[in-house]
A and B are shown apart, each in its own frame.
Chain A
Amino acid sequence: MSPTPTRSRPASNVRPSADLPDATLVGWLRMMTLIREFENRSAQAYQQAKIGGFCHLYTGQEAVAVGTLGALEPDDPVVHAYRDHGHALARGMDPKHCMAEMFGKITGCAKGKGGSMHMFDKPHWFFGGHGIVGAQTPLGVGLAFAAKYELEVLGTALSNPGVDPGAPAKKKVALAFLGDGALNQGALHEAMNLAGLWSLPCIFIVENNGYSMGTSIHRGTTMADDLLKKADAYGIRGEVIDGLDILRLYDAFKPLADWCRAEQKPAFVDLKTYRYLGHSMSDPQKYRTKDEVDRYKSMDSIERLAKHLMEERRCLTPAALDEMHAELHRIVMEALEFAESSPSPDPATELYSDVLVNPMPGMSPIREYVHGEKNPLL
C-alpha cells in the first residue's frame, strides 16, 4: 500500500501562539469582539430595513477569520464567499466603509454597489466576497498562480497597491475561503485539481459550520466526517483544525501556512466552526435545535480567549476588557452613524459608471457610461 503523506498528522507539541506577544493576542480579542459587535448592529440595521439585499452574519465563527488571517502576511491575497464582513474587517477594512457598503452608500468600500456579499479591499489584498457558492475558489487558484508566476518567472512583483515598482517577488500564499456547502460545487473540484496539478500555494479553508444553508453536512456531502479524503483525491495536504479555540487554531494553521509558503504547495483545511445565527437574516432554522446552538455558545471562542488572557496570561484586567467593549461599541456606532449620514450614490454619475473603461462616443451600449469617481479604496 502506498503511503498517504497528505493526511493530517497528529497534533505536535509546537505552540507558536505561546511565543506571540500579549499585544497580538489582545489584538485578536479586540478584532473578534469588533466583528461580533459589528454583526449584532448589522442585524439590527437589517431589521430596520436600512441594509438592503441579503445579509449573512459571521457571529460565532470570528476565530476563523482572525486566527487564519493572523497567520498570514498582510499582502497575501485572500478571496472569500459571501459571509464576508468578518474577513474584510480582520483584513483591515475600516468598519465605516464596510457598514456604508451594506447601507448602499457612496462611502462604502465599493461605493455602495457591491453590498453585504461583495466586500472588496485591494490595498489590504482582499479580493472580494463572492455571491456564487464555490465559484470564488478558482479565483484563489489564479491569485496563487500569479504569486508563483511573480516568483518563478517575472522575479519582480506585479503592479499592485502598495507595491514599489520593480520590487522583488516574494513567496506568498493565497487563501480561498469557502463554506462546507461549497464542497459539493464543481468549481471547487476543478480548482483543487488545478492547484494540486500545478503545485500552487493556495490554501482552501473550509469554514465547516455544519450546514449548507439549511442542510446539514451529513445530508449534503460524502465522507462528511473525513473531508480530507476529498483533498487526498487531488494530492493536496489536509488538516482538520478546531475553529472554536483561536489559540489551537493558530497553532495548527500557522505551521501549515508556513509550509505552503516555503514549499509553494497547496493545502486544504477542514476548519470546524459554528454559526450562531441563521444562514441569512431570513432563516427559520428548522434544521437544528436550540440545544445544539446553546451547546456551541457555551464554548464561545471570544469568551474563551478573554478568559485565557485574564486568567492564564494575566495580561488583561476585567476593567480593560470593559474599556475595550465600550471602545468597540463606540466604533461600531460611529460606523452606523457614518453609513446612515452618508449620501446615496448619485444616479447621474454612478448608475453607468465603472462598467468598462474608455467610454467611446457614438457606441452602444457603453455610450452613456462614464468613469466613476475614484474608489476610496483603490
Chain B
Amino acid sequence: MPRSEMMIEKGLTLVDAINEALYQEMERDDRVVILGEDVGLNGGVFRVTDGLQKRFGPDRVVDTPLAESGIMGTAIGLAMAGMRPVPEIQFEGFLGPAFDQLVNHAARYRTRSRGAITVPMTVRVPVGGGIHAPELHSDSPEAIYAHQPGLKVVMPSTPYDAKGLLTSAIRDPDPVIFFEPKRVYRSFREHIPEEEYTIPIGQAKVVSEGSDITMISWGATVFQCLEALDQLPEDVSVELIDLRTIDPIDEDAICQSAEKTGRVVIVHEAPKTCGLGAELATIIQERCFLHLEAPVQRVCGFDTVMPYYKLELEYLPDAARIVEALQQVAAY
C-alpha cells in the first residue's frame, strides 16, 4: 500500500511496519493468506491488518469466528497443503485454546513425518503488558513456546526489525510465532526502507555497545532498559542486546558480550521462574563461567498472574528496578 504522508514525513510505527510487510508478502506470493478474528472488515483489533482485505479480498484476508483451535488447525491444514497462512491470534492469552494445535501438531509434523509434512505458517500474536489491559491480554508466554522443539519464536521491538523479521517468518519453511509487543505498537516512529528486506531469524542485535555490563532484553522491555541507561548515575558502560529472536537463541552473540564484560543482567516481562532468563543465565554460565565477575542478575515480572491495570506498572520491570540491578552487578 502506498505510504501515507505521515509515514513519509515521520516514519512508520510498529503497526505500520507489520502491515507493510504483510502487504508486500501478499503481493509477492499469492499463497500467503491471513485469517483471524476481525482481521478483514475491521482490520484487526489493533488495526494491524487494516486495508488488506480491501486490497486482496475476503478469500485472502479471512474473517473467522471466535474459534482459535479452528483457526490454528485450519491454518496448519493450509500449510500442509502448500499454502503460506498467517493466522492472527488476537491476544496472547487466546493462544490457550489453540495450544493443542500449535504444540501437538504444528511443532511436530516435520519430525513426526521425518520431513515429509511441514508447516510453513506464521502465527501473529500481540503480546505483553503496558496497555492497561487485564491478564490474558497482557501476558508474556514466550518461554512456554520456546520450550517446545519445532517452533520458532520471534519478538521484535522496533518497526525496522518487525518488518524484516516478519518477512523472514512468512518465507520460513517452519512454524514461527511472531509476537508483537503491543506496548510499542504506536509508541514511536522510525524511518525504514520501503522496499522489502529480511532480517535472519535467530540473530540478536547490539542496541548500544559497552564494556562493563551486558544487559539482555527483548520486546517492549528494551525501552525500559534504555530508560534505565539514561537514569544510571554511575559511569558504567553497558552493552544492551535486543534478543529479537527468542528461539533459536543467538548464543554466540550473548556469550561474546558476556565474555567481554563478565557481568550480565537479563530483563524480561514474563514471570521469573522458568522464564527465558533462566535459560540465558544457564547458557552463559555453561559457556562463560571463567569470564564471569558476578552472578547473572534477572529483572523480571513476578511469579504471579499479570495484575489488572492499577498494579500493572508495579509488575512490569521498570527503569528503577533495572538501575538497581545494574548497580548491584557493577558493585559485586
Contacts and interface: CB of A to CB of B under 8 A. Distances in A.
Interface stretch (A23-31, A65-73, A128-136, A282-290): A128-136
A131 B80 CA distance: 17
Given A122-B116, A142-B75, A365 B83 contact: no
A363 B249 contact: yes
B64 A194 contact: yes
A147 B81 contact: yes
Contacts of B2: none
A353 B235 CA distance: 48
B248 A366 contact: yes
B149 interface: yes
Interface stretch (A53-61, A240-248, A326-334, A370-378): A370-378
Given A132-B104, A145-B78, A146-B78, A354 B114 contact: yes
A92 interface: no
Contacts of B200: 360
Contacts, number: 185
B308 to A, nearest CB: 28
Interface stretch (B66-74, B189-197, B211-219): B66-74
A191 B70 contact: yes
A374 B113 CA distance: 11
Contact of B251 (A131, A132, A139, A363): A363
A111 B69 contact: no
B100 A149 contact: no
Given A127-B117, A132-B104, A139 B73 contact: yes
Nearest to A120: B113
Contact of A158 (B31, B202, B250): B31
Contacts of A186: 69, 97
Given A146-B81, A153-B59, A190-B69, A355 B116 contact: no
B114 A364 contact: no
Contacts of B59: 149, 152-153
Interface residues of A, number: 63
A377 B116 CA distance: 7
Contacts of B174: 356-357
A277 to B, nearest CB: 25
Identify which of B67, B76, B114, B152 gathers the most chain A CB atoms within 10 Å of its CB: B114
Contact of A138 (B69, B111, B112, B283): B69
Given A130-B105, A362-B251, A142 B60 contact: no
Interface in A182-201: 186-187, 190-191, 193-194, 197-198
Given A143-B77, A145-B78, A187-B69, 9 more contacts: A127-B77, A128-B112, A142-B79, A154-B31, A160-B81, A191-B74, A356-B152, A358-B172, A375-B113
9 contacts: A110-B113, A113-B111, A113-B113, A113-B114, A146-B83, A191-B70, A356-B174, A367-B248, A374-B115
Interface of A: 77, 79, 110-111, 113-114, 118, 120-122, 127-128, 130-132, 135, 137-147, 149, 152-154, 158-160, 174, 186-187, 190-191, 193-194, 197-198, 353-358, 360-367, 371-372, 374-375, 377-378
